[in-house]
Structure 1
Amino acid sequence: MSELRFEDVTVRYGTGRRAMNAVDAVNLTVPSGQVVGLVGESGSGKSTLARAAVGLAPLAAGRVLLDGKDMNRRRQRPAHRPLHMVFQDPYASLDPRMRVGDSVAEAIPRGSLTGTAERRKEVVRLLDLVGLDAHHALARPAELSGGQRQRVALARALAGRPAVIVADEITSALDVSIQGTVLNLVRDLQRRMRLGMLFISHNLAVVRYVSDVIAVMYLGRIVECGPVQQVLADPQHPYTRELLAAAPQRDGYAWDFAQDDGAVTEAEPPDPHHAPPGCRFHPRCPVGPLVNPERTACLTRDPSAGAADRVHTTACHFAAERPAPSDAPA
């Protein structure tokens, strides 16, 4: 059981005037044995943060720590890396020329098993763990369905004996009829093995189903983060409320924008190469300066600075303040 922590992580693409921070000074913790759901619209930086976690996207600044150890310092990289990723497209993440059993066996740490027979036995165990039969080990990815390929990808990730798994939109490429089965499998495996998990999705219903904590990302930054039930029942950031308003209404979680001060502002997302000053969401905010001109702080002051003092560590100047701890009874 291990804690994954992002400390001021920045990932930059390009150079000079065309440089863009796809992830900008992100702080996020995946507690040991818990699932953190990361949501946001396309282009918000979710997948880039996932790739940074496993070393596929170089960091411009900050650190990725697993149990306090920097995962991106080469001299500290262990032979067995306890952090594995499951990609969005299961077909692209598997070698089409290799049999499924060989792909899974390849991920087993060297020296952990002795002999071919033991490795084959472990492959069969892993396939059974994700609901596949032993004969699937002889198949190639093209001979399997999308759901079966994603199960193989999960088995391959588990073969590395990780402490934390990063799951990047693992159901978005699957048919709706298969998504529920894969989600049930993921939740069951996580609870049985007490794995930490960063679960990335743009589907709030999916995140609510599997996650303990939810983090909302917009234009490269985390704008709200807290226990999933609390965030969905009482969202503090206007962007979180917009995401909820766009989701199907059920269980009382959808936000009624009639409660806001103004109508939703119809606007295109800003150019990520030229992020707006102050609050990055202010050009689209339904309660910001476009609707309430007196809220000039949004135009110049970064709300991330005081996020720790607000409910759900919300990066919004007008979010509710975190209540002061009550005094202990005498």
Structure 2
Amino acid sequence: MSELRFDDVRVRYGSHRRGLTAVDGASLVVPSGRIVGLVGESGSGKSTLARAAVGLAPISSGQITLDGTDVRRLPRRDRPLQMIFQDPYSSLDPRLTIGESIGEAMPAGTDRRAEAARLLELVHVDPSRAAMLPRELSGGQRQRVAMARALAGKPKVVIADEITSALDVSVQGAVLNLVRDLQQQFHLSILFISHNLAVIRYLCDIVAVMYLGRIVEVGPTLEVLADPRHPYTRELLEAAPSKTRTLLAGDLDAAGEIDVPDPHDPPSGCRYHTRCAIGPVQRQDRDVCRTTDPAAGVLSHRWAACHFADELTTR
């Protein structure tokens, strides 16, 4: 088991004038042996933060560490940090059989054929399919193969980026159960990114909420979803499906009816103040929201980046 830690991480693309800061001072801890959910609208920076952890996005400042070691110093081969992507078809080489794709990620000296068969059994795919190409499998089967490929690298930490969003609702539950079983069996630490609050509630021990490049709320999942301390978290919950609708179909992008500020030119102070129901849009006396940032790299058990978090009572 291992702890993955993000400390004041910034990821910026482009020049100073025309660039975009996709992640801006994000701090988060994925404790050893726990599943942390990361939620937020599209464009909030969730996937960029995940990609930075595995070296697929540049870290402009700050640090990402695995058990105290900067992830940029970890070997690219046999790295104890693996990622499962949203689209399993694009993440698997279409020219390789699934057995060959899984074998690529294995440490040197491994009996690749035998180990691929073992891993396929673990993810509930018939080992006889090892000679098939990705296009010959269903979406759910391909995602299971992607999970087996991640496990082939013998990781301590796994990052799962929207791994059920491209699957049929009937398949999502089985994949989530598999994630939970594998996490317990291998004692993995997992950062699980999703738009779906029902999925987060079912799977994750801790939830972090991200908005416009910053973490705005963190806490135990059941506590945060029952008693949100940040207005944005409350908005996401209000946008989620009700009991009369299909929970697994819930998409947090429904929260985006109000225009999100331009990420190239984010608001000063609290970035959420232009949309906030308890901020200066509604209360002119709350100029502190326009001038002072409440999300200054805080790490704690239960935290919300809001000057007036105490006003949000239990739902």
TM (norm. structure 1) is 0.88
Residues in 1 aligned to 2:14 and 2:298: alpha-carbon distance in whole angstroms: 29
Counterparts of 1:161-240 in structure 2 under 5 Å? 161-240=154-233
Within a 5 Å distance, the mapping from 1:77-156 to structure 2 comes to 77=75, 79-111=77-109, 113=110, 118-156=111-149
Q: Identity, % of aligned pairs? A: 63
- The Cα of 1:196 is off from its aligned counterpart by 0.3
Pairing 1:280–2:278 present: no
> For the Cα contact (< 8 Å) 1:46–1:217, is it kept in 2?
yes
What secondary structure, in the 3-state scheme, does the structure 2 residue paired with 1:273 have? coil
* CA positional deviation for 1:176: 1.2
1:161 and 1:284 map into 2 onto residues whose CA distance is: 44
Distance 2:157 2:200 in 1: 17
Contact 1:216 1:225 in 2 (8 A): yes
Give deviations 1:74-93, integer Å, cap 9, x for gaps.
Answer: xx536420000000000000
Name the structure 2 match of 1:61: 61
1:274 partner SS: coil
2:49 & 2:299 partners in 1: Cα distance? 21
Cross-structure match for 2:48? 48
Distance 2:282 2:256 in 1: 8
How far 1:224 moved relative to its partner? 0.1
Q: Structure 1: which 4+ aligned runs deviate by more than 6 Å?
A: none
Q: CA deviation at 1:207?
A: 0.9
Would the alpha carbon gap of residues 106 and 307 (structure 1) be closer, same or farther in structure 2, given more than 3 Å must change?
closer
Amino acid at match of 1:120: R
What one-letter code is carried by the residue in structure 2 that aligns with 1:293? Q
1:35, 1:210 within 8 Å by CA — same for their partners in 2?
Answer: yes
How far does residue 232 in structure 1 lie from its aligned partner after superposition? 0.5
Structure 2 segments unaligned to the other structure (5+ residues): 248-254
Question: Could you tell me which of 297, 310, 314 is aligned with 1:320?
Answer: 310
- Consecutive unaligned residues in structure 1, runs of 5 or more: 255-263, 322-330
Distance 1:138 1:314, change over 3 A: same
CA distance 1:319–1:306, shift in 2 (3 Å): farther
The 3 A distance-change label for structure 1 pair 67 and 307 is closer
Deviations 1:54-108 (A, max 9, x none): 00001000111000000113xx536420000000000000001100101101110
- Is the 1:88–1:169 Cα contact (8 Å) retained in structure 2? yes
Distance in 1 of aligned mates of 2:168 and 2:146: 17
Q: CA RMSD in A?
A: 2.0
Asked if the contact 1:63–1:72 (Cα under 8 Å) also holds between the matched residues in 2, the reply is no
* Secondary structure in structure 2 of the residue aligned to 1:64: strand
Structure 1 counterpart of 2:234, from 237, 241, 248: 241
Change (3 A) 1:189 1:130: same
Q: Which residue identity is paired with 2:290?
A: L
Q: Is the 8 A contact 1:265 1:285 kept in 2?
A: no
CA shift at 1:312, angstroms?
2.4
**8 Å contact 1:22–1:272 — kept in the other structure?**
yes
Residues paired across the two proteins, number = 302
Query: CA 1:46–1:305 in 2, change beyond 3 Å: closer, same or farther?
Result: closer
Asked if the contact 2:78/2:105 (under 8 Å) is kept, the reply is no
Structure 2 equivalent of residue 11 of structure 1: 11
Tell me the equivalent position of 1:258.
Answer: none
1:320 is paired with a residue of what secondary structure? helix
Q: Which residue of 1 aligns with 2:251?
A: none
Distance change in 2, residues 1:58/1:103 (3 Å): same
- State TM-score, norm by structure 2: 0.92
Equivalent residue for 2:261?
Answer: 270
Aligned to 1:327: none
